A and B are shown apart, each in its own frame.
Chain A
């Protein structure tokens, strides 16, 4: 014997629904349009620079992940295919790109560590000092890496 389902109680609209339903009364002032507004760091301070840098390096590293898988796939083509890649990869331009990759890894990794700390409620009042000290440490590591990468024996 079927029973009519209980009527769904009407719930109050959430904030998101209220804000989406509201017709804007006028143009909203922004420097850049919505999805890339985070990219505009003009007149902004350390925290925003860190956020934009984190996002740019993150997107760059995602691109690199797939590029790396594609490059490693040349190994499937045998020794000649891999040697072809190695010839390209040991040119100064590519070694420079390697150093750029290390920059991206250091910037994203060290800033990410900073975000984990402050996002967990540790030292949120020292976020600027944390950023600059981590970047200084990263710069030292980057210089060391660059010297090693370019100075390696061939």
Chain B
């Protein structure tokens, strides 16, 4: 039976690296402008209360949350690309890849806990 399959499965990593990367062009710009080009303080850095008020804003919370997920995904995909070039055996490659998945999940989880706690203190 003729079945149409999607694009090559191995192209998925490359595609998601490109997609997250292009998304980051927008997200990093928003993040950098908000933290260095809006506030008049030296370096554009916010005071303690400014940061809490900023992160407690619902739209900002969502944007920074998306930023966290996308940047972590892009970072883990990039590290995976470096690991692939080590010329490791299949077993060690898979172990390192699983470790990167765990690292990514822990990073995102910690980030959300952090901004959640800060938002609740505003």
Q: Which positions in A face B, CB cutoff 8 Å?
A: 34-35, 38, 55, 58-59, 61-62, 65-66, 69, 72-73, 75-76, 78-79, 82-83, 86, 89-90, 94-95, 98, 102, 105, 109, 112-113, 115-116, 119-120, 145, 148-149, 152-154
Contact = CB atoms under 8 A, between A and B. Distances in A.
17 contacts: A59-B82, A66-B107, A69-B107, A69-B110, A69-B111, A75-B48, A76-B117, A83-B47, A89-B45, A95-B43, A98-B43, A102-B32, A148-B44, A152-B44, A153-B40, A154-B41, A154-B42
A88 to B, nearest CB: 11
B42 A90 contact: yes
Contact of B79 (A62, A115, A148): A62
A83 B51 CA distance: 12
Contact of A82 (B25, B42, B43, B48): B48
A104 to B, nearest CB: 11
B71 to A, nearest CB: 7
B44 to A, nearest CB: 6
A145 B43 CA distance: 10
B48 A116 contact: no
Contacts of A62: 75, 78-79
Given A86-B47, A95-B42, A149-B43, A35 B111 contact: no
Nearest to B89: A20
Contacts of A90: 41-43, 45
B26 to A, nearest CB: 10
